[in-house]
Every structure is written in C-alpha cells, then in structure tokens.
C-alpha cells in the first residue's frame, strides 16, 4: 500500500503488518433476507478504511458485526487475535478494544458530558473516578470542548455531541475505531468540525473503519476505499485509483450519483 | 412606528381590542370565565340555602359524636357498636388506607414484573404476560373483585374442616389458616419492652388502653431500628462509592448490607420478646391471631392484578421509549446488560414511568371504594354508607368523604411528584 510522494500523511500514518481485524467468509441473514454475503476483509493495524455504498447495502451491518452489536451466522471474525464467538468473555474483550461512534451520537442524555465519558471507564475498566475524569478531560480537550464538560448532551450542538461521542469512545483507550455514518445527521457547517477530529485521530495512527459518504474525507485520510452493494464487497482499492478508475459498473454508477453534483 | 412590545396608547384603545389584541385577549376570556364560575357557585349556594331539608337541619357535624350503633367486621383498632360515628369513620379510613397501601405495593410488583417480562425474548413468557395484561385490564375491576371473592368464599374450606383427628384441611405450616371466611394469620406481640404483656395472657380485643399504647411504643422501637438499618446501609453504599471513586474497585457490600438489614431487627425483636399468637380452632371458628377477611383479600388481590396490568404497560412503555441506540452505545462501550439496564436505561425510563404510575396509585386509592360490593368496611362503607343512612346527614358525610379522598390523593400525588422531580432529566 504505497503512498504517493505528494501525500501529506505524517510518518505515524504508516501501516504495520500486524492484523487488526480478520473477517473470513462471513454471512448474515435478517430472517430470510441475506444481508451480508461471503465477506472477506483483512484490516491491518493503522489502516484507515472508508466503506461506502448505496443504502441497504449492508455497510452499517458489517461494522456492527465487528463489535457484536449484530450477530453473524456463518464465517469468522477475529479482532486483535480474539475470535468473536458467543462467549461473553470474548465479546467483552473485543468491545473494550473497539470504540464505536453512531450516526445519532447516542450520548446518554441523563448524564453530563463528563459523566458520559467516565461511565464506562469507571464501571468496565474499574478506573478510579478522579483518574477517569482526568482522562476524560484530556480527550475532551483533544476534541476541543473541555468547557462543556459539565453540561448535558441536550445543551450541545450536533457537531459538539458527535465530538463528545468520539471522546467518550477514546476514553476506553480503544485500538480500533468504528464510525457508522458519523456526519450524516449533521448540518454542513458541523460536518467539518467532526471530520477534522477524525482526521486528527487518523494522523495519530488509529485503526479506523468508517462508513461514510464524505468522499473528501476518503481522499484525504483513507488508504483503502471499499464499495459495498447488495451485501457484498464489490470493489476495494486505494482512494486515488478507486475514484479515478472504478473497475465495476455498479461502483461507477454509484460514484456518478454521489459525485455528480 | 409601533412595535408589538410598545405599551398601548391611551388614545388608541378601543373596546374591540379586548378580543382582537393578543395582549388583552387571554385576560378578557379569563375574566369572563371567572365571572361565570362565581355565578355558577353562587347559584349552587343559594339553591342549597333555600333547600327545605337543609333549612330545617342546617349543617352540623355534631352527629359524629353520637354512638354509631352498627358493627364493623374488619377492625384494625378496637371498636364496638357503642363507639361514636367518628370512630367508625376513622376505622373506615384506616381500612381504606390499609387496602390502598397493600394494593399499591403489590400492583407495582406485579406491574414491574409483567412489564419487564413482556419484553422478554422468550416467546412463551412474552405471550403469557401479554395475555395477563389484556385479560385483566379489559374486564371491569368490580367483576374481578366479585369473582375473586366468590372463589375464595366457595373454594376455600370452612373453619370446621380444620377440626378432628383427620381434618380435611390443615393450616399452612400449622399457623395460618385459609378459610372461606378469610385468612387467619398469626398476630405478633411483645412480652418485654415498655408495658410488657405477660406471656401467658395473650392480649385480645378488650386490651386496656395502656397495653395498646405499650404495643404501639414497641412497634415504634422496631420501626426506629429499621430506619437506623436503612441509614446504615446508605452509609455503607456511600462509603463503597467513595472507595470506588478513589481506587476504581467497588468493594462488595452485599453481605454487609444483608447483615445490617437483618441482624439489628432480629436482635430487637428477640430483646422485646416477640411472640406469635397463633389462631386456634375453638368451637366453630378460629380464635386469636389476625383475621384478614376474604373481602379484604379479594379487594386487595383484585385491585393488585387489575392495576398491575396497567402498570405493566407503563413500565413497558417506559423501557421501550429509550431508543435502541442508548443500549447499543452502552454495549459498544463494554457495559454488561445488567449495568446497561441500571446505569443507562432505567434512569431514563423512570422519568417516563413515574407520572402515569402516580395516576395508577390514585386510581387504586379511589377504586378501594368498590369495597362496598363485598362488604369490606372502608370509609365509603362506614361514613358514606351506614353512618350517612342512619343520621341522614348526607351533605356533611359526602363533604367529609370527598375531603378525605382528595387530601389522601393529593398527598400521594405530592410525594410521587417530589420523587419524580428528583429523577427528572436536566436538559437545556
């Protein structure tokens, strides 16, 4: 996966040979509806992958399978060497390694921003409250909203809420981050602040899987773009090549629709 | 230029503005409504004053001191037919409170249980709970009261069935007899403590006042110990939270709390010399112990299952109202399902559950007045029933009745609203 010389990436953005996520021949059905078909995907540590595709193509389901929010019926998923099975211990281990951000942020409205960020570290990681708060403030500063720490989610704008959600995930010190359409519910001027946060995260070498239609973001930080349709991975390539010369007809159609205007 | 916020100009004021201008409009209509209300009540009052019956008798609460002259079958405190109407009403009020309290507690238990289980992934459990809810909330509660009363009066054995060397029925664990007249339960009393009652003379209905007071004092001691246990447990929990905040590990408090709940209260009961007066079959009936008449049992049970079905739906609605996203976000952070429920879902669901729960408690309180259908002497049966009929003081009795239910309901409402405010969501 060689980067071009013009790439602005920092040295940290290099990809190691270590495998972070390994998905083999994974299938999933909702009832009789075959939502994911024979998915094979290997993610190396430090990789930043953007998944795109028409709605209903199974891209959200794919990343939700990785931290067991959805159950897959056939095939295997191995995250950081831990196989995803029905064993609760493995699920706990994987969830503590994998952070996730949702389209609708899903902050806990009854807790302050700070409490949102410390809840899981305190109850799952068993970190002393003061220490958890220190960590939370560190990440809130990183997403540039430390001054909102004592407010409630309802008092924040959408962009701020999504940045809190990112900080909340980071407080668990994940090695992999999943993003499920993190900017789809945001006003245009708020999309940038969230993307900036994600770019910053990518530059620090976080392994990222991101379902998004932000093609600018894909061009800037992704080292691989995956196109999904009808529950299958149709095409994957480096962003440059992916956007310039898509090989598959369906990819071409999709790109012309979202880049056409 | 005039703007909306400009004060009205004296010269620009016209009468039509009272209706057309939104600054005056609401005041105009409120004033009209208020006047209409006064006129209506004035008419009611003048009507009442001109009523010949009232003119003759006037409004007089003196009748409350007269001997009641009727018997009450469920007596939480001593009462004879020579006692006053006031005491009869008081007993009625206590009976209302007893059944309302019991039914609120059990209805909540049934409701929470059924509401949570109806969301179960287990098909059979879910459907069973749906059946329970739909069956009990769609048949009038009066019919449930009558059905349960009839069943308990016909299916349960007569006291005489407990007699003989080879009785047809035997008391549960040898102490509690369920008969068609009601449940005979052991009655606790104290042999030590303040104003002790000797062990060999069980206090019965004719206990002197001193003994009554002593017994109350002993129960107050028990209550105080219970309260102390509660405070101690809270202290331990606060300490555990502090430890957790400092070290990250929450010390296990289960056994400590269990001990704090039970050890002091058991010690107190032992010191006070708790004894149980077991109901015994003498002649044709059981003597001693507490008799919970089957009218009370039927009313209590019917109100509980009936209202429990409504509460189940409130609980289910509250839990369902919390979006899946909340559960998913919490799960993605690594929280286990139990913690997700207690830390994320329930704190949010409670705000939705509590306001309709208040309404259900108020419904129970007022539905207790259906007691008259099975002859349970609640306030409606005593003050609003026999006393009213015997004295003919309808206006006074009904006023008192309304005042009681109103005050009691408002108290429940106030307490629950205060609790609701304490769990309310802070937003914006």
Domains defined for chain B, CATH in brackets: 72-160+292-408 (1.10.3720.10), 187-277 (no CATH)
For residue B200, pLDDT over 50 is answered with no
Q: Chain A contacts of B426, Cβ < 8 Å?
A: 110, 152
A141-174: per-residue pLDDT in tens?
Answer: 999 889 999 999 989 999 999 999 999 999 999 9
Is A106 in contact with B336 (Cβ distance < 8 A)? no
The answer to whether B339 contacts chain A (CB < 8 Å) is: yes
| For residues B60-81, average pLDDT | 81
Sorting pLDDT into bands at 50, 70 and 90, what band is A2?
A: very low
Is A95 in contact with B326 (Cβ distance < 8 A)? no
B380-423: per-residue pLDDT in tens?
Answer: 988 888 888 888 888 888 989 999 999 988 998 898 888 888 77
Q: Chain A contacts of B250, Cβ < 8 Å?
A: 126
For residue A11, pLDDT over 50 is answered with no
- Give me the DSSP letters along A141-172: HHTT-GGGTTS-GGGS-HHHHHHHHHHHHHTT
The answer to whether B426 contacts chain A (CB < 8 Å) is: yes
Q: Which of residues 105-124 of A touch B (CB under 8 A)?
A: 106-110, 119-120, 122-124
pLDDT for position B205: 45
Q: Best residue in A90, A106, A122, A155 to probe B by mutation, most B CBs within 10 Å?
A: A106
The answer to whether B349 contacts chain A (CB < 8 Å) is: no
Is A120 in contact with B333 (Cβ distance < 8 A)? yes
Is A106 in contact with B331 (Cβ distance < 8 A)? no
- Return d(Cα A118, Cα A16) in angstroms, integer: 31
Q: Chain A contacts of B322, Cβ < 8 Å?
A: none
| For residues B122-149, average pLDDT | 92
* Nearest residue, CB atoms, B332 vs list A69, A108, A109: A69
The answer to whether B201 contacts chain A (CB < 8 Å) is: no
Q: Beta-carbon neighbour count of residue A145 at 10 Å?
A: 22
Is B245 in contact with A129 (Cβ distance < 8 A)? yes
Q: Chain B contacts of A123, Cβ < 8 Å?
A: 335, 339, 343
For residue B180, pLDDT over 90 is answered with no
- Return d(Cα A138, Cα A117) in angstroms, integer: 11
- Return d(Cα A67, Cα B46) in angstroms, integer: 76
Strand segments, DSSP code E, in B164-284 are: 177-179, 182-185, 187-190, 274-277, 280-282
Sheet holding A232-237, edge to edge: A98-101, A176-180, A207-211, A48-52, A224-229, A232-237
For residue B35, pLDDT over 80 is answered with yes
Q: Chain A contacts of B248, Cβ < 8 Å?
A: 122, 125-129, 131-132
B37-52: per-residue pLDDT in tens?
Answer: 999 999 998 888 888 7
Strand segments, DSSP code E, in B192-351 are: 274-277, 280-282, 285-287, 290-293
The answer to whether A102 contacts chain B (CB < 8 Å) is: yes
pLDDT for position A38: 92
User: Which residues contact residue A180 at a Cβ distance below 8 angstroms, ignoring those fewer than 6 apart?
Assistant: A60, A63, A64, A100, A101, A102, A103, A211
Q: Are A194 and A186 in contact (CB under 8 A)?
A: yes
Q: Chain B contacts of A122, Cβ < 8 Å?
A: 244, 248
Average confidence score pLDDT of chain A: 88
Sorting pLDDT into bands at 50, 70 and 90, what band is B323?
A: confident
ipTM reported for the complex, 2 dp: 0.88
pLDDT for position A98: 94
pLDDT for position B63: 83
Sorting pLDDT into bands at 50, 70 and 90, what band is B199?
A: very low
- Give how far B339 is from chain A: nearest CA, Å: 8
pLDDT for position B211: 64
Buried b (16+ CB within 10 A) or exposed e, A218-243: bebbbbbbbbbbebbbbbbbbbeebb
Average confidence score pLDDT of chain B: 84
For residue A139, pLDDT over 70 is answered with yes
Is A119 in contact with B343 (Cβ distance < 8 A)? yes
Select the more confidently predicted residue: A60 or B179.
Answer: A60
Is B343 in contact with A131 (Cβ distance < 8 A)? no
- State which residue of chain B sits closest to A69, comparing Cα positions: B328
Is B333 in contact with A169 (Cβ distance < 8 A)? yes
| For residues B10-28, average pLDDT | 80
pLDDT for position A1: 41
SS3 of residue B80 by DSSP: coil
Is A126 in contact with B249 (Cβ distance < 8 A)? yes
Residue whose C-alpha is closest to residue B106's, from B256, B263, B312: B312
Q: Which residue has the tokens 């400009």?
A: B6
For residue B214, pLDDT over 90 is answered with no
Residue whose C-alpha is closest to residue B272's, from B192, B187, B333: B192
- Give how far B87 is from chain A: nearest CA, Å: 49
pLDDT for position B7: 59
CB pairs under 8 A between A and B: 87
The answer to whether B252 contacts chain A (CB < 8 Å) is: no
Q: Chain B contacts of A165, Cβ < 8 Å?
A: 329
The answer to whether B383 contacts chain A (CB < 8 Å) is: no
Is B328 in contact with A69 (Cβ distance < 8 A)? yes
pLDDT for position B195: 53
Q: Best residue in A67, A102, A108 to probe B by mutation, most B CBs within 10 Å?
A: A108
Select the more confidently predicted residue: B333 or A7.
Answer: B333
pLDDT for position A60: 93
- Return d(Cα B414, Cα B416) in angstroms, integer: 6
- Comparing A50-54, B55-59, B357-361, B375-379, the range with the smallest average pLDDT is B55-59
Is B248 in contact with A126 (Cβ distance < 8 A)? yes
- Give how far B423 is from chain A: nearest CA, Å: 9
pLDDT for position A10: 44
């Amino acid at each position: 996966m060689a980067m071009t010389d013009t790439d602005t990436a920092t040295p940290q953005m290099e990809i190691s040979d270590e495998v972070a996520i390994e998905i083999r021949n994974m299938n999933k059905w909702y009832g009789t509806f075959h939502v994911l078909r024979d998915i094979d995907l290997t993610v190396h540590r430090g990789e930043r992958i953007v998944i795109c595709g028409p709605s209903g193509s199974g891209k959200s389901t794919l990343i939700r399978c990785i931290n067991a929010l959805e159950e897959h019926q056939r095939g295997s998923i191995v995250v950081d060497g831990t196989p995803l099975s029905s064993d609760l211990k493995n699920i706990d281990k994987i969830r503590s390694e994998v952070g996730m951000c949702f389209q609708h942020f899903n902050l806990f409205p009854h807790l302050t921003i700070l409490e949102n960020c410390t809840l899981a570290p305190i109850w799952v990681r068993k970190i002393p409250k003061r220490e958890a708060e220190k960590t939370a403030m560190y990440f809130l500063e990183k997403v540039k909203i430390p001054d909102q720490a004592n407010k409630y989610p309802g008092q924040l704008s959408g962009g701020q809420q999504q940045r809190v959600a990112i900080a909340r995930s980071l407080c668990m010190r994940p090695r992999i981050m999943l993003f499920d359409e993190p900017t789809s519910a945001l006003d245009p001027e708020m999309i940038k602040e969230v993307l900036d946060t994600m770019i910053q995260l990518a530059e620090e070498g976080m392994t990222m899987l991101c379902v998004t239609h932000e093609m600018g973001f894909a061009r800037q930080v992704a080292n691989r773009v995956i196109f999904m349709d009808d529950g299958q991975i149709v095409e994957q390539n480096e962003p440059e090549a992916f956007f310039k010369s898509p090989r598959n007809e369906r990819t071409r159609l999709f790109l012309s629709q979202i880049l056409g205007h | 230029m005039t703007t909306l916020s400009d004060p009205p100009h004296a010269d620009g004021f016209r009468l039509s503005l009272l209706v057309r201008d939104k600054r005056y409009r609401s005041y105009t209509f409120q004033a009209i409504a208020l006047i209409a209300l006064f006129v209506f009540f004035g008419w009611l009052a003048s009507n009442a004053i001109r009523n010949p019956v009232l003119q003759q008798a006037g409004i007089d609460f003196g009748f409350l001191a007269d001997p009641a002259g009727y018997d009450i079958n469920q007596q939480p405190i001593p009462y004879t037919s020579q006692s006053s109407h006031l005491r009869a009403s008081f007993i009625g009020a206590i009976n209302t409170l007893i059944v309302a309290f019991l039914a609120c507690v059990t209805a909540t238990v049934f409701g929470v249980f059924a509401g949570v289980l109806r969301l179960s992934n287990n098909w059979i459990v879910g459907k069973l709970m749906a059946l329970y809810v739909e069956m009990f909330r769609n048949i009038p509660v009066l019919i449930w009261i009558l059905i349960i009363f009839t069943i308990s009066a016909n299916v349960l054995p007569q006291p005489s069935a407990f007699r003989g060397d080879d009785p047809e029925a035997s008391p549960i664990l040898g102490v509690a007899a369920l008969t068609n007249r009601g449940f005979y339960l052991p009655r606790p009393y104290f042999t030590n403590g303040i104003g002790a009652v000797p062990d060999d003379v069980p206090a019965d209905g004719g206990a002197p006042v001193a003994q009554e007071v002593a017994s109350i004092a002993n129960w107050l001691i028990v209550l105080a110990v219970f309260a102390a246990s509660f405070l101690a447990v809270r202290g331990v929990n606060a300490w555990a939270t502090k430890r957790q905040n400092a070290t990250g590990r929450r010390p296990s408090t289960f056994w400590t709390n269990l001990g704090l709940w039970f050890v002091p209260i058991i010690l107190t009961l032992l010191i006070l010399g708790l004894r149980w007066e077991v109901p015994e079959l003498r002649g044709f009936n059981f003597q001693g112990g507490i008799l919970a008449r089957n009218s009370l049992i039927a009313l209590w049970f019917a109100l509980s299952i009936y209202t429990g079905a409504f509460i189940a739906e409130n609980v289910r609605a509250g839990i369902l109202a919390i979006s899946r996203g909340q559960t998913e976000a919490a799960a993605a952070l690594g929280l286990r399902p139990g913690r997700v429920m207690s830390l994320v879902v329930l704190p949010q669901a409670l705000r939705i559950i509590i306001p309709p729960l208040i309404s259900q408690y108020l419904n129970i309180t007022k539905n207790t007045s259906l007691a008259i259908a099975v002859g349970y002497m609640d306030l409606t049966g005593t003050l609003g029933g026999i006393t009213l009929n015997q004295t003919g003081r309808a206006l006074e009795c009904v006023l008192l009745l309304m005042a009681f239910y109103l005050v009691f309901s408002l108290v429940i409402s106030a307490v629950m609203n205060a609790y609701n405010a304490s769990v309310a969501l802070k937003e914006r």
